[in-house]
Amino acid sequence: MADKKRTEIAELGEFGLIEHLTKNFKIKNESTKTAIGDDSAVLDYDNKQTLVSTDLLLEGIHFDLTYTPLKHLGYKAVAINLSDIYAMNAQPEQITVSIGVSSKMSVESLDEFYAGVHLACDKYGVDLAGGDTSASLTGFTISITALGTADPEKITYRSGAAPNDIICASGDFGAAYMGLQLLEREKKVFSTNPEVQPDLAGYDYLLERILKPEPRKDVIDLLNKLDVKPTSMIDVSDGISSDILHICKSSGVGCRIHEDKIPIDLKTSMLAEEMGINPIVAALNGGEDYEMLFTISQQDYDKFINANGGVNIYAIGYITEESKGYYLVTEAGQEIKLSAQGWKHI
């Protein structure tokens, strides 16, 4: 790091910094009339409805710069916002990016962050439409707002799940949580003995899940291709347990999640076992998986599974009447209540 060029942010000034960071962003969507450079961006959504979602990421709470590459952080900050728009069965089109920059950061480190923002914008066809840049006396602060559009009849809320609907998930769970445990463990080792190199070999998948998650645009594209509209949908940021409860409470229904149907990657199980963590707990309460969790009527489910277009979808349970409550069904057939604070009974 020591021989890398370091340009102080003060050398560019506020206006120079904004221009420097945003000059490579090209407008990709017809709906983006004007982006950066005025009091606000101007967008034209024609006859579609508009979706808006926002996330605040704070150093020390949401990320640790000692093991988070800034490029990955930029990518992830965008990805998790786009995930919220996809979770409405909609397409993101613009983002705004606001940052509070601590004095320990250089222009080059912000370039790394924006390289990640740029990559995510390119990959998902999204325009940078504005933002705010400020000094920060404390840590690095990131606030991103994503805007998207959808035909009104396609928008999928949390509130439409009905008894007998199948609960589906778009991928495996708990990997991001175990990736985080691994990074925290190696950080602790490093802090007590800086000579020891971190031992992360073989766990690329878990690290990728925590450091560079991908929003599931492919799932939304498949749903549209098959003309299947889920009855409800959410992206899993807090773990299956919290997020299925959001759907159940919005829809006024209950649920049964089957423990043996929850997809868990082998690496997640291996590291969980090594660290004495129950992998089911990681999947239910770990969070940050950014998989889609959705409910679908039984006839749509057959259609969906038979023509999955290379996207793996897992049926992990079903919706019940509200009076039946919210339960995990263990392999032994035992029913354990799910709770938003996390499922802490195993």
Query: By the criterion CB under 8 A, which residues form the site for a second copy?
Result: 13, 15, 33-34, 37-45, 47, 49-56, 58-62, 84-85, 87-88, 90, 94, 96, 98-100, 129-132, 134-139, 141, 143, 145-148, 152, 155, 157-159, 233-235, 250, 340-341
Q: DSSP string covering 228-255, please?
A: ---SEEEE-SS-HHHHHHHHHHHHTEEE
Question: In terms of CB distance, is 84 or 214 closer to a second copy?
Answer: 84
Q: How far is the CB of 85 from a second copy (least distance, A)?
A: 6
Q: How far is the CB of 35 from a second copy (least distance, A)?
A: 10
Q: How far apart are CA 254 and CA 299, in angstroms?
A: 20
Q: How far apart are CA 161 and CA 163, in angstroms?
A: 7
Token pair 């102080």 in the structure block, residue = 8
CB atoms within 10 A of CB 218: 15
**Among candidate residues 222, 327, 198, 203, the one with its CA nearest the CA of residue 267:** 203
Question: In terms of CB distance, is 83 or 297 closer to a second copy?
Answer: 83
Which helix (H) or strand (E) segment holds residue 280: the answer is: helix 279-285
3-state secondary structure at position 63: strand
Q: How far is the CB of 224 from a second copy (least distance, A)?
A: 17
Q: How far apart are CA 22 and CA 19, in angstroms?
A: 5
Q: How far is the CB of 332 from a second copy (least distance, A)?
A: 31
Which helix (H) or strand (E) segment holds residue 170: the answer is: none
Q: How far is the CB of 141 from a second copy (least distance, A)?
A: 6
Q: How far is the CB of 30 from a second copy (least distance, A)?
A: 12
Beta bridge mates, 297: none
3-state secondary structure at position 162: coil
- Pairing label, strands 253-258, 127-136: unpaired
Question: In terms of CB distance, is 323 or 341 closer to a second copy?
Answer: 341
Question: In terms of CB distance, is 95 or 272 closer to a second copy?
Answer: 95
Question: In terms of CB distance, is 129 or 175 closer to a second copy?
Answer: 129
One-letter identity of residue 345: H
- Burial bucket for residue 105 (CB in 10 Å: 0-12, 13-18, 19+): buried
Q: How far is the CB of 290 from a second copy (least distance, A)?
A: 11
Q: How far is the CB of 334 from a second copy (least distance, A)?
A: 27
Nearby residues of 308 by Cβ (< 8 Å), 6 or more positions away:
222
Q: How far is the CB of 253 from a second copy (least distance, A)?
A: 16
Token pair 């606030």 in the structure block, residue = 143
Question: In terms of CB distance, is 19 or 274 closer to a second copy?
Answer: 19
User: For residue 13, is it left (φ>0), alpha (ψ between -120 and 50) or beta?
Assistant: left
Question: In terms of CB distance, is 12 or 315 closer to a second copy?
Answer: 12
Question: In terms of CB distance, is 95 or 281 closer to a second copy?
Answer: 95
One-letter identity of residue 50: T
Question: In terms of CB distance, is 167 or 206 closer to a second copy?
Answer: 167
CB atoms within 10 A of CB 68: 17
